[in-house]
Amino acid sequence: MSPRLNVLEQSPPSARSEWKSGWTVVLAAAMGMGLLSVPTYSMGIFMKPLEDEFGWSRSAIAGGHLFGAVSSLVMGPVIGLIIDRAGPRRLALAGSVLVCGMFAMLSLVGPSITSWWLLWAALSTSALLIKPTVWTAGVSSLFSTSRGLALAVALSGTALASTATPALGHYLIESLGWRSAYMALAGIWAALALPLIFLFFDSAHDRQRTGGGDSKAKDHAAVLTGVSPREGLLSLRFAKLATAAFTATLISASYVTTMVPILMASGQSRIAGATIAGVMGMTTVAGRLFSGVFCDRLNANIIAGATLLLPVGACFLLLTADGSLAAATTAAVAMGLTLGAKLHFIAYLTTKHFGMRSFGVLFGTISGLFGLASGIGPVALNYCYDVTGSYQIALLGTIPLALGASVLFFRLGRYPVFEPAVSSPELTHLAHVARG
């Protein structure tokens, strides 16, 4: 491919100026990512009460994710195209309200599994409007020099959800019952996230459309273009990144939604499992911030490849833990670090290898694969349990998947230099300054 970069005659802003004009967007995006993650991180803690009350199998319960898988795969590129053309703010506003409402309505399910699947279909459709593409597009458009750290902080909203949701969900279930617990969780997250998103979330595109915001930040956003959708989608580099992203998400989504049942199957109590899952959530913050800081300084291909080796060790520990609390906690920490870094470095690598010109379409396509993997992974993992009565086969199968994804990240190649469309020594110099 022959990527091009249109540049303005100015140097990129400093990290300080980027944070001065964009920190509120990062904060709002973090809360949006947290809200998006609540249904996923809560499923494990609600699985046993649903199984006990209705007799549903765990794979049938996890099947709710399949609706998100299909909708994300089909609509991910479309949502990305809308973001590229209209900006992410309006999608974020509508989607946040809808997700809170649909999550609360999960309290109405039963006794038929069909009611569960229908409400998950509605929830998954609503969640399309607040997928990571929305939040990363807003943040990436306003940051270049400090993009890695800004994305890491924004995406750490999932860590907030993964840390708080299992323990909070357990407390609410024990105190209120699982139906009221769904409504309470929805209300808590609506109160936390909606005001910040309504007040602060936007992007360079939205600021240009409304005439607001810092003019230097808006001008710099125009510097970052890159490849066309066709150039990106048809490239071998994109195929490698998309395949690695799909595999990494297949792993992380499977264990995020099922970590509590896995730990309970290994001999831990539900409260111990929820506590360990909370520890996993806290380590996602460390993983994400580590990835953010070092992606701005080192080659993100190497960071991504090394990170995907952690699930190998985690699976080995879970296979050999034999009820050990220390081994189970260490495995959860390894999975948490992987989960924390994964979404960040995939978003970051998309901007570095393809630029910002078609970020919505390209990362939207990858997000569609995220959704597909998030639907398939938990169902497959819990199907193994339903058939065999244990998670051992799933744990063994995870090891080669993680190794394969690691190799693909290592082999993405050097970051491209996006040359200016106009032949000019000054513009060429600026293109190299603004690369990524």
Report the half-sphere exposure of 84 (CA within 13 A, side-chain side).
Answer: 22
For residues 22-40, give the mean pLDDT: 92
Instruction: Say if residue 221's pLDDT is above 50.
Output: no
Instruction: Say if residue 424's pLDDT is above 50.
Output: no
* Residue 38 belongs to a domain: yes
Q: Considering only CA atoms, give the Rg of the chain.
A: 21
* Residue 76 belongs to a domain: yes
Could you tell me which residues come within 8 angstroms of residue 385 by beta carbon, excluding any fewer than 6 positions away?
Answer: 58, 59, 261, 265, 391, 394
* Residue 16 belongs to a domain: no
Number of domains in the chain: 1
* Residue 307 belongs to a domain: yes
Q: 292 is written with which tokens?
A: 């953010």
Burial-class residue 54 by CB neighbours within 10 Å (0-12, 13-18, 19+).
Answer: middle
* Residue 106 belongs to a domain: yes
Could you tell me which residues come within 8 angstroms of residue 124 by beta carbon, excluding any fewer than 6 positions away?
Answer: 64, 65, 67, 68, 71, 72, 371
Q: Return the percentage of the chain with pLDDT > 70, whole number.
A: 89
* Residue 3 belongs to a domain: no
Q: Looking at residue 271, what is its pLDDT?
A: 77
* Residue 61 belongs to a domain: yes
For residues 390-418, give the mean pLDDT: 91
For residues 106-123, give the mean pLDDT: 92
* Euclidean distance between the first and the last CA atom of the chain, given in angstroms as a whole number: 16
Q: Is 140 left (phi over 0), alpha (psi -120 to 50) or beta?
A: alpha
Per-residue pLDDT tens digits for 255-274: 877 887 888 877 777 777 77
pTM above 0.75, yes or no: no
For residues 176-194, give the mean pLDDT: 95
* Residue 13 belongs to a domain: no
Residue 114 dihedral angles phi and psi, to the nearest 5°:
-60, -40
Name the residue range of residue 196's domain.
22-209+223-431
For residues 101-105, give the mean pLDDT: 96
Reported as a pLDDT band with limits 50, 70 and 90, residue 146 is confident
Residue 114's alpha-carbon distances to 63, 109, 117, 326, in angstroms, are 11, 9, 5, 39
Residue 46 is part of a domain; what is its CATH number? Answer: 1.20.1250.20
For residues 284-294, give the mean pLDDT: 81
Mean pLDDT score of the chain? 83
